[in-house]
């Protein structure tokens, strides 16, 4: 089996959250979101894309993929991941938003070989995914087509498939509807809590979940 790495998207400025630091470094229930994600995935083979105030990642310098073009959009972070994964000889990549927390079971599923996807819809609590029949799965209920908007995403895919996303120049928010037509991605749906810490309200709500 080829190499499989975890790549965390942590280059943005977290403007909606308003903490003035990259969102993976924001604390929830006394723990950084980054530490919570690493506990979820339990892998030593991981990297994080840095951009905004990337010097704050100095305690994990060897894990940081610098993205000096982070202000040009998330597609530049995918490019940084692609470049590093190409150099490192990875076959499978699990790319996860740096502000997304979910169950260990879902994380283990994402780290299996193959292509699969976990999405978090706009209410930040419902997990949805793709199955091979081109329909979304929302807490086990099938519905036609993708959600209207994707707030959070974790995806496991091959290096060539990541290149397709980059070439489309749209990121996953725009690329996911196209995947519905292609099929081939297995859904990751767990009956558990999925949280995206994107706003102060999200952070406050999440505190009550983890205390």
pLDDT greater at residue 189 or residue 87: 87
> What's the pLDDT score for residue 30?
86
Percent of the chain with pLDDT over 90: 35
Q: What is the mean pLDDT of the chain?
A: 75
Q: Which residues of 83-94 are buried (b: 16+ CB within 10 A; e: fewer)?
A: ebbeeeebebbb
Evaluate if residue 149 carries a pLDDT over 90. Answer: no
> What's the pLDDT score for residue 113?
79
Report d(CA 198, CA 174) in Å as an integer: 19
* Each residue's pLDDT tens digit, 45-77: 999 999 999 999 999 999 999 999 999 888 899
* Each residue's pLDDT tens digit, 102-147: 778 888 888 887 777 776 554 433 444 433 323 333 333 333 444 4
Evaluate if residue 39 carries a pLDDT over 70. Answer: yes
Report d(CA 66, CA 70) in Å as an integer: 9
Supply the angle between the helices 171-182 and 159-168 in degrees, to the nearest 10.
120
Q: How confident is the model at residue 189 (pLDDT cuts 50, 70, 90)?
A: low
Supply the angle between the helices 159-168 and 75-88 in degrees, to the nearest 10.
150
Identify the domain containing residue 97 by its residue range. Answer: 3-210
Q: What is the CATH number of the domain that holds 96?
A: 3.90.550.10
Evaluate if residue 14 carries a pLDDT over 80. Answer: yes
Contact 190, 127 (CB under 8 A): yes
Evaluate if residue 201 carries a pLDDT over 80. Answer: no
Evaluate if residue 95 carries a pLDDT over 80. Answer: yes
Total number of domains in the chain: 1
> What's the pLDDT score for residue 187?
54
Evaluate if residue 197 carries a pLDDT over 90. Answer: no
């Amino acid at each position: 089996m080829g190499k499989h790495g975890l790549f965390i998207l942590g280059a943005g400025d977290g403007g909606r959250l308003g903490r003035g630091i990259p969102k993976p470094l924001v604390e929830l229930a006394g723990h950084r979101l980054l530490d919570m994600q690493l506990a979820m995935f339990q892998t030593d083979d991981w990297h994080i894309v840095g951009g905004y105030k990337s010097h704050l990642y100095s305690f994990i310098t060897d894990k940081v993929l610098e993205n000096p073009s982070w202000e040009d959009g998330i597609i530049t972070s995918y490019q940084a991941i692609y470049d590093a994964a190409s150099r490192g000889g990875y076959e499978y990549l699990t790319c996860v938003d740096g502000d997304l927390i979910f169950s260990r079971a879902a994380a283990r599923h994402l780290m299996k070989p193959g292509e699969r996807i976990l999405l978090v819809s706009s209410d930040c609590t419902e997990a949805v995914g793709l199955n091979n029949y081109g329909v979304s799965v929302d807490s086990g209920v099938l519905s036609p087509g993708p959600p209207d908007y994707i707030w959070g995403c974790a995806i496991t895919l091959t290096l060539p498939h990541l290149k397709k996303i980059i070439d489309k120049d749209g990121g996953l928010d725009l690329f996911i509807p196209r995947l519905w037509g292609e099929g081939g991605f297995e859904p990751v749906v767990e009956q558990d809590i999925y949280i995206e810490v994107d706003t102060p309200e999200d952070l406050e709500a999440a505190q009550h979940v983890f205390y």
